């Protein structure tokens, strides 16, 4: 059930049966010479829809822009500052809490969102109580990073070994190829720059001139993407249902 394709009366009825909602969040950032700029949001949105179907859960519209300041030296990247993203998340949660939602499962496709999300949760818990919103003390938030699931991580290692890298990875590129085969970007790639320290945007582009961090996305194929999709949906459906059932 997709929030943006529902009516308010349908959402009100849903709230009589469940207080949980899935919120996909990604990023709009460079993914090397052959990866789609929307990769992180595309992956999060597709997997969230799959989890929603399996868990009979409401899925919110995707937050497509995240914290990607370190990629802003590459054309096409759009980023929020961490402080801005924290406020965006706080306002999302406040709006939804006011009408009765209590369990917020952020299905995340971008590593740079993890710290701002955790900070936003901490700030929002106290903010909601300060507003004296009914049941504010029952609000709970959790992050589900699709790329960090046990099965997904194991498959990536089996398929790509250390060539998976840490940005513009073949696993995420394969998933976008499965979802949008018409948008596959072929290209010959040299060996990527390696190393994992991230500082400023200018420094990032100097260290990783084509945008990749140790990754070989040319290994990606749509068939791999289907495997990652099915594994991620399975793992995150279980995570969501466990979160929903927990006190």
H or E stretch covering 104: strand 103-108
This prediction has a pTM of 0.97
Under the banding of pLDDT at 50, 70 and 90, the label for residue 1 is very high
- Closest Cα partner for 58 from 93, 8, 7, 23? 23
80 pLDDT more than 90: yes
Q: Kindly report the average pLDDT of the chain as a whole number.
A: 97
pLDDT tens for each residue of 86-143: 999 999 999 999 999 999 999 999 999 999 999 999 999 999 999 999 999 999 999 9
User: What is the residue extent of each domain of the chain?
Assistant: 3-245
Contact 112, 67 (CB under 8 A): yes
Q: What pLDDT is stored for residue 247 in this prediction?
A: 85
> pLDDT of 6-62, one tens digit each?
999 999 999 999 999 999 999 999 999 999 999 999 999 999 999 999 999 999 999
Q: What is the mean pLDDT of residues 180-200?
A: 93
Distance CA 31, CA 33 (A): 7
**Cα–Cα dist 73/161, whole Å:** 29
With a cut of 90, say whether residue 233 has pLDDT above it.
Answer: yes
| Average pLDDT value for residue range 195-212 | 94
Q: 68-88 in b/e burial notation, b at 16+ Cβ within 10 A?
A: bbbbbbbeebebbebeebbeb
Q: Where are the alpha helices (DSSP H) in the chain?
A: 8-15, 39-55, 82-98, 114-130, 150-160, 170-179, 201-207, 222-245
Q: How confident is the model at residue 85 (pLDDT cuts 50, 70, 90)?
A: very high
For position 222, what pLDDT does the model report?
A: 98
Tell me: pLDDT of 195 over 90: no
Cα–Cα dist 229/151, whole Å: 11
Per-residue pLDDT, 196: 79
The fold of the 3-245 domain, in CATH, is Rossmann fold (3.40.50)
Q: Does the pLDDT of residue 197 top 90, yes or no?
A: no
């Amino acid at each position: 059930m997709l929030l943006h394709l529902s009516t308010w009366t349908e959402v009100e009825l849903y709230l009589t049966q469940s207080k949980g909602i899935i919120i996909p969040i990604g990023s709009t950032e460079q993914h090397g010479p052959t990866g789609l700029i929307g990769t992180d949001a595309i992956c999060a949105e597709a997997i969230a829809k799959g989890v929603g179907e399996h868990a009979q859960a409401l899925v919110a519209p995707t937050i497509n822009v995240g914290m990607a300041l370190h990629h802003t030296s590459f054309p096409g990247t759009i980023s929020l500052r961490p402080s801005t993203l924290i406020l965006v998340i706080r306002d999302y949660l406040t709006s939804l809490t006011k009408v009765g939602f209590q369990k917020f499962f952020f299905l995340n496709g971008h590593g740079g969102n993890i710290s701002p999300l955790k900070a936003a949760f901490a700030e929002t818990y106290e903010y909601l109580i300060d507003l004296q919103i009914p049941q504010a003390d029952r609000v709970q938030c959790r992050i589900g990073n699709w790329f960090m699931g046990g099965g997904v991580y194991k498959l990536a290692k089996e398929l790509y070994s250390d060539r998976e890298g840490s940005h513009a990875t073949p696993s995420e590129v394969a998933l976008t190829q499965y979802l949008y085969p018409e948008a596959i970007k072929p290209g010959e790639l040299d060996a990527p720059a390696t190393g994992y320290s991230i500082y400023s945007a200018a420094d990032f582009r100097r260290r990783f001139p084509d945008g990749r961090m140790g990754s070989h996305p040319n290994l990606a194929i749509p068939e791999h993407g289907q495997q990652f999709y099915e594994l991620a949906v399975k793992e995150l459906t279980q995570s969501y249902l466990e979160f929903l059932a927990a006190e």
